[in-house]
Amino acid sequence: MLTNDVLQTMSNHRSIRSFTDKPITDEIIDTITTAARWASTSHHVQAYSIVTIKNADTKKDFAEWTGGQPWVASCPVFFVICGDFSRHARASKQYTAPFTVGGIEQLLVATVDASLVAQNMLLAAESLGLGGVMIGGIRNEPEKVATRLQLPKYVFPVMGLALGYPTRYPAQKPRLPQNVTVHEEHYKHHRHALETYDKTISSYYEARTKGADTRNWTARMAQYTEKNKRPHLKGFLQKQGFLTE
Q: Does position 112 bind its own copies by CB under 8 A? A: yes
Q: Does position 166 bind its own copies by CB under 8 A? A: no
CB atoms within 10 A of CB 160: 27
Among 18, 60, 136, 206, binds its own copies (CB under 8 A): 136
CB 125 within 8 A of CB 132: yes
Q: Does position 56 bind its own copies by CB under 8 A? A: no
Among 20, 23, 56, 183, binds its own copies (CB under 8 A): 183
- b/e string for 181-190 if b means 16 or more Cβ within 10 A? eeeeeeeeee
Residue 53 has φ and ψ, to the nearest 5°, of -125, 120
Q: How far is the CB of 83 from its own copies (least distance, A)?
A: 9
Q: How far is the CB of 167 from its own copies (least distance, A)?
A: 19
The site map against its own copies for 68-87 (x = CB under 8 A) is -----------------x-x
Distance of CA 173 to the CA centre of its chain: 17
Q: Does position 139 bind its own copies by CB under 8 A? A: yes
Distance of CA 32 to the CA centre of its chain: 15
Q: Does position 43 bind its own copies by CB under 8 A? A: yes
CB 28 within 8 A of CB 94: no
Q: Does position 94 bind its own copies by CB under 8 A? A: yes
Among 34, 167, 203, 209, binds its own copies (CB under 8 A): 34
Which residues, at least 6 apart from 70, have a Cβ–Cβ distance to it below 8 Å?
Answer: 63
Distance, CA of 117 to CA of 114 (rounded, Å): 5
Q: How far is the CB of 21 from its own copies (least distance, A)?
A: 21
